[in-house]
């Protein structure tokens, strides 16, 4: 979808920002460009929508040389999101979102409907926010409007230049995970510039690690983390790349322990006997549809009067995740709930699958680090936020 062929950019002052770049971004793929300041990421991105023109080589978007046609027409087919959002301060959120449809001459009713739809898609209620002005929004909300605006005319290609760079880390994480969900739904071809390797790893189907004007490695995140192509990449990725793998490694069925399970309507005395027989101090409690309810302590069951049910002693479990969530989410949930284990459930049915303990999490991380890059499928990692 986007193809660079031997592209070089020399600025008038003599700086060669990028040298002989050749790479391709497939349709529907999200590629992150990452590297230290001044390595040529922004120059690379801006050559795609011709805000900067290449000195040598060709850039093709959907098979067409970007230098061949009219740049204004080109830019309407390419969504662009930047850190400062570039929203028009004197236009409402709805009007800002409808900027490109407006330029394209869509009738008013159609562009307003499209803008409302897009605001909904990025998590902003158009009835609440549609008539506000940008300075009546938080930084994170402004970024969402920026994304909605870039998507308004449904361009096949999206360029994003540090779009979440200006917000605080908590909002940033939320925007990242929302954007991943959005991208799963809209499947744009995305070039995403960041200087943050964590962000590059989290978002990218593939990562282009830039050195000084050249790409040092172009590979999926697991490969960049697991098998850096050079000392430069290893250094950039950092010594804590094991930790970073947490966010690209999915919880698998094999990682789970199967603890003792009882049901809400089991007689408490029977449940107590089963726990005693197995020397268990607690058991997972499910409802009659095998959906996770929580857990129950052996002590509490042992003290139960005759005739009662497990239900009277069960406690709710807040720390749970679906199979396929990342190890990083599991770790975060353990910390958030101060839990010694977290429950893992089937995402669609809610059926209990097992529990993840710190020891199993550690094993899963080792498996991920030791496995070759192909072993972990990026598509298996989901980034829903921790429920609770």
Ligand X SMILES: Nc1ncnc2c1ncn2[C@@H]1O[C@H](COP(=O)(O)OP(=O)(O)OP(=O)(O)O)[C@@H](O)[C@H]1O
Nearer to ligand X, 15 or 374 (CB): 15
Q: Per CB under 6 A, which region of 7-15, 253-261, 276-284, 346-354 contacts ligand X?
A: 7-15
What's the chain's Rg over C-alpha atoms?
A: 25
Site for ligand X contains 136 (CB under 6 A) = no
Q: What are phi and psi of 36, to 5 degrees?
A: -70, 165
In the bound state with ligand X, the residue whose beta carbon lies nearer, of 196 and 290, is: 196
From the number of C-beta atoms within 10 Å of its C-beta (0-12, 13-18, 19+), residue 217 rates as buried
Contact 192, 33 (CB under 8 A): yes
Q: How far is the CB of 14 from ligand X (least distance, A)?
A: 8
State how far the Cα of 14 lies from the Cα of 279, in Å rounded to an integer: 75
CA 29 vs. chain centroid, Å, equals 13
- Closer to ligand X by Cβ: residue 82 or 152: 82
**Binding letters toward ligand X, positions 8-27, x by CB under 6 A:** ---x-x-x-x----------
Shortest CB 162 distance to ligand X, Å: 7
Range 35-74, binding ligand X (CB under 6 A):
35, 37-43
Nearer to ligand X, 41 or 206 (CB): 41
Segment interacting with ligand X (CB under 6 A) among 33-41, 245-253, 341-349, 350-358: 33-41
Closest CA to 368 of 256, 213, 229, 251: 251
Stretch that binds ligand X, among 31-39, 134-142, 149-157, 268-276 (CB under 6 A): 31-39
Using the minimum distance from each CB to ligand X, give the nearer residue, 201 or 286: 201
Question: What does the alpha-carbon distance between residue 371 and residue 380 come to, in Å, rounded to a whole number?
Answer: 15
CA distance 343 to 354: 6
- Identify the CA nearest to 304 among candidates 271, 281, 280: 271
Minimum Å gap between C-beta 17 and ligand X is 3
Q: 43 or 368: whose CB is closer to ligand X?
A: 43
Residue 325 beta carbon to ligand X: minimum distance, rounded to whole angstroms = 31
Q: What is the H or E stretch that residue 208 is in?
A: strand 206-210
By CB under 6 A, the residues from 190 to 209 that bind ligand X are: 195
CA distance 245 to 43: 29
CB of 18 to ligand X, least distance (A): 7
Distance between CA atoms of residues 179 and 171, nearest Å: 12
- Considering beta carbons, is residue 39 or 317 the nearer one to ligand X? 39
Interatomic CA distance for residues 238 and 233, integer angstroms: 8
Q: Rounded to the nearest whole angstrom, what is the least distance from the CB of residue 73 to ligand X in the complex?
A: 24
Q: Which is nearer to ligand X, 42 or 326 (CB)?
A: 42
Total of residues contacting ligand X (CB under 6 A):
13
* Least distance between ligand X and beta carbon 164 (Å): 14
How many whole angstroms separate alpha carbon 358 and alpha carbon 199? 25
Q: 117 with 193: CB under 8 angstroms?
A: no
Question: How far apart (Å, rounded) are the C-alpha atoms in residues 205 and 219?
Answer: 8
Site for ligand X in 219-258 (CB under 6 A): none
Residue nearer to ligand X on the CB measure, 37 or 348 = 37
CB of residue 16 to ligand X, shortest distance in Å: 8
Residue with token string 């609440």 = 128
- Minimal distance, residue 35 CB to ligand X, in Å: 6
116: which residues sit within 8 A by CB, 6+ positions away? 94, 126, 130
Tell me the HSE value of 12 on the side-chain side, using a 13 A CA sphere: 1
What is the smallest separation between the CB atom of 55 and ligand X, expressed in angstroms? Answer: 12
Complex with ligand X: residue 21 or 152, whichever CB lies closer: 21
Binding site residues, ligand X, CB under 6 A: 11, 13, 15, 17, 35, 37-43, 195
């Amino acid at each position: 979808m986007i193809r660079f062929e031997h592209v070089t950019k020399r600025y008038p002052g003599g700086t060669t920002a990028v040298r002989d770049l050749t790479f391709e971004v497939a349709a529907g793929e999200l590629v992150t460009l990452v590297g230290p300041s001044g390595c040529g990421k922004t120059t690379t991105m801006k050559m795609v929508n011709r805000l900067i023109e290449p000195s040598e080589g060709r850039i093709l978007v959907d098979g067409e040389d970007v230098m061949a046609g009219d740049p204004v027409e080109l830019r309407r087919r390419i969504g662009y999101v930047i850190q400062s959002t570039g929203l028009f301060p004197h236009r409402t959120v709805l009007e800002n979102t409808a900027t490109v449809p407006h330029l394209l001459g869509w009738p008013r009713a159609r562009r307003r409907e499209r803008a409302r739809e897009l605001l909904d898609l990025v998590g902003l209620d158009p009835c609440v926010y549609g008539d506000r002005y940008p300075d009546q929004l938080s930084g994170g909300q402004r970024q969402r409007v920026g994304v909605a605006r870039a998507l308004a005319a449904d361009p096949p290609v999206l360029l994003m230049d540090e779009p979440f760079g200006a917000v605080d880390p908590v909002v940033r994480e939320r925007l990242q995970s929302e954007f991943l969900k959005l991208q799963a739904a809209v499947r744009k071809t995305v070039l995403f510039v960041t200087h943050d390797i964590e962000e590059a790893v989290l978002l990218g189907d593939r990562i282009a690690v830039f050195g000084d004007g050249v790409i040092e490695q172009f590979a999926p995140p697991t490969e960049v983390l697991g098998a850096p192509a050079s000392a430069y990449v290893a250094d950039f990725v950092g010594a804590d790349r094991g930790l970073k793998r947490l966010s690209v490694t999915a919880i698998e069925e094999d990682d789970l322990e199967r603890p003792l399970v009882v049901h809400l309507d089991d007689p408490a005395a029977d449940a107590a006997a089963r726990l005693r027989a197995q020397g268990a101090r607690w058991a997972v409690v499910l409802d009659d549809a095998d959906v996770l309810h929580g857990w129950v302590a052996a002590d509490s069951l042992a003290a139960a009067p005759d005739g009662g049910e497990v239900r009277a002693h069960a406690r709710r479990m807040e720390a749970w995740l679906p199979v396929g969530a990342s190890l990083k989410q599991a770790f975060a949930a353990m910390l958030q709930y101060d839990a010694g284990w977290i429950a893992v459930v089937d995402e669609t049915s809610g059926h209990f699958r097992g529990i993840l303990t710190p020891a199993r999490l550690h094993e899963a991380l080792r498996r991920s680090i030791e496995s070759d890059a192909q072993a972990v499928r990026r598509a298996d990692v989901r980034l829903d936020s921790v429920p609770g």
